[in-house]
Structure 1
């Protein structure tokens, strides 16, 4: 129920527009690392000083015009230049849909090539975030095409997909981030039961740690983290073969603890005003995240947008039934 609620909210353009306009007043600074490149670089430097690297996501939703995709491309190129200029420990995460995948495949490919090529010059890694099932194979196709000319790219494997085991074996020579998945997917494509998703998640992590190039383990779950610690120790897997990843602003004490223990640690750093859809999907992916942010980062004002959003979503569903 909660997952369906947050996924429904993430797709609401009206609420997304309102959150974009009033985000800072609602406390969005606890969800994003900055609204512009300058603020974001400052946040990255603060994390780097604590032994934490970053992957930077230029937030953006509902991109259906070439002008919007081109603007997103230019913003990402600006971030790459800033990472190089300021010599910070950071790389890029991006969504193909933001670069025009929903508009035209070749247009998206050209935008991605420009980004990957510039990043390659500066030896900066680019991670292709994965989205819903309809965009899954086209995103892999983009990765494979660009891999013919560039080696500084990797992607994400989502454990709720039935095909995830085949995909992780096919792309084992890439740097991969392994996640559970944050979209509502049909039963014919994805596990629906949390237990099945969690079991497949652990299975994928273990397989890639043993067979893959580099593994990014994206989780806030200390049970999973402790399991990984024991697994790498038992199998003599060196620390330079993997990293833990968490979202900016979530479980910051645990982030610092892992970094101090000597594990590679990377924070997923979103920036920009278009934070709403991103945040709702994080709550859909793991509803316990709501407890984390309420406890440590959200103000009463920020909680209000979640309550109002939930109310709007439920009212919308009720009116559809009439």
Structure 2
């Protein structure tokens, strides 16, 4: 039943008609519980509140699969504006972005031009940028771009997904770049030719990736709401003498709020992934697919006065 539910929401995430309706009616159907608003200005008070609670943040201007050069450049300008606003408001926040929103599917020249513009501004303001991982068809290109840019900019991270067969080898390839990595399970619908189908295998691979990256001496962001994965990371760090400033836990805005605060009280770094923007629909549906209990947010939003 869980697999059926996941596939259903992943199917909905690609529905163009529903995406257009979502933009028209805004975040009133529960998405405001896990999205920080339609503009970065709306997200700023939320970030300040999270910071006051001891939580760090990474913000993501939602949107992907841009197919015009003009729109890709507008997305890059939005990232620059966000970085400048983070600095001017003295927010404890990083920035996450997707390469398809910056022209990855249009040309390598365009996406590299946009990324360099963003990273130059981010470097000036001391803001770290993480390249989010998308579906497997874009994984290779994303990592190639990351490796090229990492030679030029230190304040750059990316994401590895444990449901992909290739991820362990990708860690080995990235090792020489001293990578800053967010390790996650993955949220796209993938073929059995490239990804593990069984949840237990995805979980075990995530543990292997966490262990390898930490033992390689690289800063590691563990992106998971899973209590077992959090406990595994804690125990691994204690057993191997890995200090708490060598890793962090990352969780989505609106999810496991009490767990986030408890981890902060225990002395761990916790970063909240806070998305914002009008293109919230696909993100929202993938969160529904990841965890059926998230549907309760949507139902509550529909009937809330």
Q: TM-score range by the shorter chain?
A: over 0.9
2:266 aligns with 261
Work out the CA distance in 2 between the residues paired with 1:171 and 1:2.
Answer: 35
Q: Give a deviation string over 1:255-306, Cα, whole Å, max 9, x none.
A: 111111110000001011211101212233x2xx331562xx44534489xx
1:229 aligns with 234
The 10-residue stretch of structure 1 (40-49 or 25-34) with the greater mean CA deviation from structure 2: 25-34
Alignment of 1:80-119 (within 5 A): 80-119=83-122
1:240 aligns with 245
Q: Give a deviation string over 1:158-198, Cα, whole Å, max 9, x none.
A: 11111100111222311000001111222221111111111
Work out the CA distance in 1 between the residues paired with 2:173 and 2:265.
Answer: 34
8 Å CA contact 1:174, 1:212 repeated in 2: no
2:300 aligns with 300
8 Å CA contact 2:31, 2:284 repeated in 1: no
Work out the CA distance in 1 between the residues paired with 2:263 and 2:301.
Answer: 31
Are 1:187 and 2:192 matched, yes or no? Answer: yes
SS of the residue corresponding to residue 178 of structure 1 reads strand
8 Å CA contact 2:183, 2:223 repeated in 1: yes
1:272 aligns with 277
Q: Please provide the CA RMSD for this pair.
A: 1.6
Work out the CA distance in 1 between the residues paired with 2:168 and 2:123.
Answer: 29
Q: 143, 146, 156: which one pairs with 1:140?
A: 143
Q: 145, 151, 159: which one pairs with 2:154?
A: 151
Q: Give a deviation string over 1:119-175, Cα, whole Å, max 9, x none.
A: 011111110111111111111111122122111111101111111001112223110
Moved beyond 6 Å, runs of 4+: none
- TM-score of the superposed pair, with normalisation by structure 1: 0.89
SS of the residue corresponding to residue 47 of structure 2 reads helix
Are 1:76 and 2:79 matched, yes or no? Answer: yes
8 Å CA contact 1:56, 1:92 repeated in 2: yes
